[in-house]
Amino acid sequence: MNLLIFYFMAVLAVVSGLMVVTLRNIFHSALFLVLMFFSVAGIYVLLGAEFVAGVQVLIYVGAITILMIFAIMLTYQLSSKNIRQVNEQVVPAAVIAFLFFVLSLVALVKTAWPVTEAHLPENNTFELGRQLLSTYVIPFEVVSLVLLAALIGAVIISRQDRPERS
Amino acid sequence: MAQPTLLHFLVLSAVLFALGIFGLLTRRNAIGILMSIELMFNAAAMNFVAFTRFIAPEGLAGQIFTIFIITIAAAEAAVGLAIVMLLYRSFKGIEVDKVNFMRW
């Protein structure tokens, strides 16, 4: 049963990922990106990471994709259908991606993974919050600082009226 | 009842990562490149969650790192799209092969 759900989610993720990288219309790519994020969230639920799945839907689907669609809308006239969306490297890029996949497949199959029988903590989300504010409190603060700096940087970079440099 | 194993998840994330590489190398549109990067971020994050579930479930370290990855991806998208808007204003286009000099 779980395997069936996994295959459904996996096929959904791979097909929509393929659409994201191959469709000519960049706006359709963004919509397929939403589907890809949703199916990855489904995979997270399957892996017992409910909180991460919720964060995935909130941040990726709710924020990042909307931001991208905004950017596509604001630059639309020039990124419309009649402009070529891919460069001349399609064949070498496909070869490189395929070689990467084969290489990692060989590595993944040949590695003896130390899979344990232990289970995730009973209260997954509770444990996650406790860890974030105890063991990982310094990375947590640092990453919030990074986010703040990135948002201020984004505002400053895209500001309309740039002061003249003297 | 058949359960998906660790290898299932790792292979899926390898496929997604390879798709991301393909998109990264072929897209001309800067936003398309950013979307491919998000695809690769997702593949890496899925690895972390799968390893938490199957190899080290006690500390939940992988899930915490996935949350950090998602945060960094949000920051990256904000800065990246700001740069895209700036490119659009300066070059009247966001095809990355047209943008081949840094100042003028």
Q: Which of A19-28, A65-74, A90-99, A155-164 has the lowest mean pLDDT?
A: A155-164
Q: What whole-number percentage of chain A has pLDDT above 70? A: 90
Quote the DSSP letter at residue B37: H
Between residues B24 and A121, the one the model is more confident about: B24
Following DSSP, what letter does each residue of B55-102 receive, concatenated? T-TTT-HHHHHHHHHHHHHHHHHHHHHHHHHHHHHHHS--BTTT---S
Our CA-based measurement puts residue A64 at a distance from the nearest CA of chain B, in whole angstroms, of 6
Q: Is residue B104 part of a domain?
A: no
Per CB-CB distance under 8 Å, the chain A contacts of B16 are 13-14, 17, 36
Which among B3, B10, B61 has the least Cβ separation from residue A3? B3
Does the distance separating the beta carbons of B32 and A29 come in below 8 Å? yes
Our CA-based measurement puts residue B31 at a distance from the nearest CA of chain A, in whole angstroms, of 7
Q: Is residue B2 part of a domain?
A: no
Which three-class secondary structure string do you get for chain A? CHHHHHHHHHHHHHHHHHHHHHCCCHHHHHHHHHHHHHHHHHHHHHCCCHHHHHHHHHHHHHHHHHHHHHHHHHCHHHHCCCCCCECCCHHHHHHHHHHHHHHHHHHHHHCCCCCCCCCCCCCHHHHHHHHHCCCCHHHHHHHHHHHHHHHHHHHHHCCCCCCCCC
Determine the pLDDT at residue A81.
58
Range of the domain at B16: 7-91
Query: What is the average pLDDT across A113-118?
Result: 81
Q: Is residue B99 part of a domain?
A: no
Q: Is residue B65 part of a domain?
A: yes
Contact of A18 with B19, CB cutoff 8 Å: yes
- Residue B92 falls in which region: left (phi positive, over 0), alpha (psi -120 to 50) or beta: left
pLDDT at A33 over 90: yes
CATH number for the domain spanning B76: value is 1.10.287.3510
Q: Is residue B25 part of a domain?
A: yes
Which among A71, A100, A144 has the least Cβ separation from residue B84? A71
Q: A124: nearest CA in chain B?
A: B60
Contact of B11 with A108, CB cutoff 8 Å: yes
pLDDT at A78 over 60: no
Per CB-CB distance under 8 Å, the chain A contacts of B58 are 118, 121
Does the distance separating the beta carbons of A49 and B52 come in below 8 Å? yes
Polymer length of chain A: 166
Q: Which two tokens stand for residue A96?
A: 């490189």
- Angstrom CA distances, A58 to B74, B79, B85, stand at 11, 19, 24
Interface list for A 44-73 with B (CB within 8 A):
44, 46-49, 51-52, 55-56, 59-60, 63-64, 67-68, 70-72
Looking at the 3D structure of chain B, how many domains does it have? 1
Q: Is residue B96 part of a domain?
A: no
CATH code that applies to domain A1-82: 1.20.120.1200
Q: Which of A47-61, A66-80, A111-125, B20-34 has the lowest mean pLDDT?
A: A66-80
Q: Is residue B101 part of a domain?
A: no
Query: What is the average pLDDT across A7-33?
Result: 91
Which residues of chain B fall below pLDDT 70? 1, 101-104
**Domain ranges in chain A?**
1-82, 121-159
> What's the Rg (C-alpha) of chain B?
17
Residue B88's contacts (CB-CB under 8 Å, 6 or more residues apart) are A74, A75, A78, B94
Q: What is the ipTM of this complex?
A: 0.89
pTM of the model: 0.89
Q: What is the band of A15 on the pLDDT scale with cuts at 50, 70, 90? A: very high
Determine the pLDDT at residue B91.
76
